[in-house]
Amino acid sequence: MLGLGSLELKEVARACGQPAYRGGQVARWLFERSELDLDRMSDLPRAFREQIAAAGYVPGELTFVTDRQTPDGTRKFLLASPRGGTLEAVLMPHWTDAEAVHTDLEGIRPERVTACISTQIGCAVGCAFCATGLSGFHRNVAAGEMIEQVVRMQGQSGYRISNVVFMGMGEPLLNYNDTLKAVRILNAEVGIGMRHLTISTAGIIPGIDRLADERLQLTLAVSLHTADDSLRDTLVPINRRYPLADLKAAMKQYVARTSRRITIECVLLSGVNDSPAQARELVRYLEGLNAHVNLIPYNATDAQFEPSRPAAVEAFREVIERSGRAVSVRVERGRQIDAACGQLRRRMAAGGEAIRKEHDGAGS
């Protein structure tokens, strides 16, 4: 049901012989109150609730496998689906009082709350440093499952989510239709502003072109990592199909059609892509493109890479900044709870628990 908007839910109500406004009531329970139990939707007639259930409309399908939390309130969830597979979602509160994260969070409300959600179980792109890619591709995540990640984290945490980033497991633009449906429902039904929604891609040019035609005011983030084609062929194998020159052309077209600045993401790997010379190469590549650079400390996985030293990150940042381009360094969070995408799922699978669920399709 979470993959249905208000208009569709009103059609469900009519199909059950109920007035259309009953569907609007269901939508409010799901999207405004994060309620996934039909029996608790108290203003719906029991007969209607029974009709919904008998027709196979389930408010929520995912079940929690595990939930890990850091002192700053970051939480990593592993959820299982009866459709098969486990997926990850991360909840990140952002605080106005920096000292609060080191003391007691009880009674303190965050300034904003970001949900990082998954669009696929596993991933076929195969980025060399990513734990998700190491596990291979399992299946696409349905729009309702994407929405449910947000709704369940709201219900579990008690926080109202203000921002959603499609940066968890998988490549969103290889699951384009469901990702865009989730974007529209999060915006129209859950009430998250379009500019507070971010889709991250490894550089799937046909998807970028389609997204440009939508002319949505969301944020597009491109996981570039390097402006060297030969190195990017190794780090992001999809580069062999969509090389840097073609990717830049697609990004420029996206900016022209949407009037939105792109975010360029670079995970910095020690001795691989973090030298000042590589920073200067990135500056040259980005000439003429309206983009902000986001440098990301590497959260080590099973892959054979090490995070860049803080001094190397700072030197890289200074090169970008001196060029006059906006640059930021993402605050590192969640290392102790396997918060990098694919890490928790992979570690659980190594112990047999998650992998067993994926093979037998069990949801709980």
Classify the C-alpha dihedral 91-97-102-108 as positive or negative.
Answer: negative
Q: What integer is the mean pLDDT of 242-269? A: 98
Q: State the catalytic residue, choosing from 16, 35, 61, 88.
A: 88
Does position 99 have pLDDT exceeding 60, yes or no?
no
Tokens of 304: 């054979």
Backbone angles phi, psi at 201, to 5 degrees: -130, 150
Sheet containing 219-223: which strands, arranged edge to edge? Answer: 63-69, 75-80, 86-94, 112-116, 163-166, 197-201, 219-223, 262-268, 291-297, 327-329
Q: pLDDT grade, residue 109 (50/70/90)?
A: confident
- Give me the pLDDT at residue 101, please: 52
**DSSP letter (8 states) at residue 337:** G
SS3 329: strand
Residue 116 annotated as catalytic: no
**Pairing between strand 197-201 and 219-223?**
parallel
Among the ranges given (70-84, 88-102, 289-303, 320-334), the one the predictor scored with the smallest mean pLDDT: 88-102
Q: What integer is the mean pLDDT of 184-199? A: 97
Residue 88 annotated as catalytic: yes
H-assigned helices in the chain:
6-15, 21-27, 46-54, 131-134, 143-157, 176-185, 205-214, 229-235, 244-258, 276-285, 310-322, 343-350, 353-360
Cα–Cα distance between 270 and 313 in angstroms, integer? 9
- Give me the pLDDT at residue 105, please: 59
Cα–Cα distance between 124 and 121 in angstroms, integer? 10
Chain segment 46-58, per-residue pLDDT in tens: 999 999 999 989 8
DSSP string, 210-225: HHHHHT--SEEEEE--
Does position 126 have pLDDT exceeding 50, yes or no?
yes
Residue 66 burial by Cβ neighbours in a 10 Å radius (0-12, 13-18, 19+): middle
Q: State the catalytic residue, choosing from 35, 127, 341, 358.
A: 341
Q: pLDDT grade, residue 71 (50/70/90)?
A: confident
- Residues 265-291 as b/e (b if ≥16 CB within 10 A, e otherwise) read bbbbbeebbbbeebbbbbbebbeebbb
Q: What integer is the mean pLDDT of 167-180? A: 97
Q: Report the CATH fold assignment for 6-54.
A: DNA polymerase; domain 1 (1.10.150)
DSSP string, 279-327: HHHHHHHTTT--EEEEEEE----SSS--BPPHHHHHHHHHHHHHTT--E
SS3 197: strand
Mean of per-residue pLDDT scores for the chain: 88
**Choice between 131 and 147, residue whose per-residue pLDDT is larger:** 147
Q: What integer is the mean pLDDT of 81-93? A: 93
Q: How many residues does the chain have?
A: 364
Domain ranges in the chain are 6-54, 63-360
Give percent of the chain with pLDDT exceeding 70. 87
63-360 CATH, one of 3.30.70.360, 3.20.20.70, 3.90.870.40, 3.40.640.10: 3.20.20.70
User: How far is CA 51 from each of CA 24, 28, 44, 46, rounded to the nearest angstrom?
Assistant: 16, 18, 11, 9
- Give me the pLDDT at residue 174, please: 97
Query: Of the segments 71-80, 164-173, 352-361, which one has the largest average pLDDT value?
Result: 164-173
Does position 303 have pLDDT exceeding 80, yes or no?
no
